[in-house]
């Protein structure tokens, strides 16, 4: 049996990603819905959440849960 082949995904920071990170650096904690509304207008919220998840997987963001609400914060390493 052969091992599955995984593609390495190249993730680059876009100008919109930089704007999101700058906004989070200033405000510290924001809901994903607020980020989607401000930085991803006209795009389905699910698409904005996918991009935020990619930034979290790359280590730029962390997801916080307070009760039943979800928030996004900059990673403490940065």
Angle of the 45-57 helix axis to the 15-27 helix axis, nearest 10: 80
Residue 56 lies in a domain: yes
CATH code of the domain covering residue 69? 1.10.10.10
Given this model, what pLDDT does residue 28 score? 93
Given this model, what pLDDT does residue 45 score? 85
Task: Give burial (CB, 10 Å; 0-12/13-18/19+) of 21.
Answer: middle
Average pLDDT value over all residues in the chain: 87
Averaged over 3-29, what is the pLDDT? 81
Q: Is the pLDDT score of 6 beyond 60?
A: no
Q: How many domains does the chain have?
A: 1
Residue 67 lies in a domain: yes
Q: Would you call 74 helix, strand, or coil by DSSP?
A: strand
On whether the CB atoms of residues 41 and 2 are closer than 8 A, the answer is no
The Cα 48–Cα 33 span in angstroms is 9
Averaged over 30-38, what is the pLDDT? 94
Q: Which domain holds residue 45?
A: 15-74
Averaged over 32-51, what is the pLDDT? 92
């Amino acid at each position: 049996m052969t091992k599955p082949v995984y593609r390495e995904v190249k993730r680059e920071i876009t100008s919109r990603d930089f704007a999101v990170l700058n906004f989070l650096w200033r405000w510290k904690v924001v809901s994903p819905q607020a980020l989607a509304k401000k930085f991803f207008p006209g795009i389905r919220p699910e698409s904005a959440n996918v991009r935020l998840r990619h930034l979290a997987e790359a280590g730029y963001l962390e997801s916080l849960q307070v009760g039943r609400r979800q928030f996004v914060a900059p990673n403490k390493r940065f």
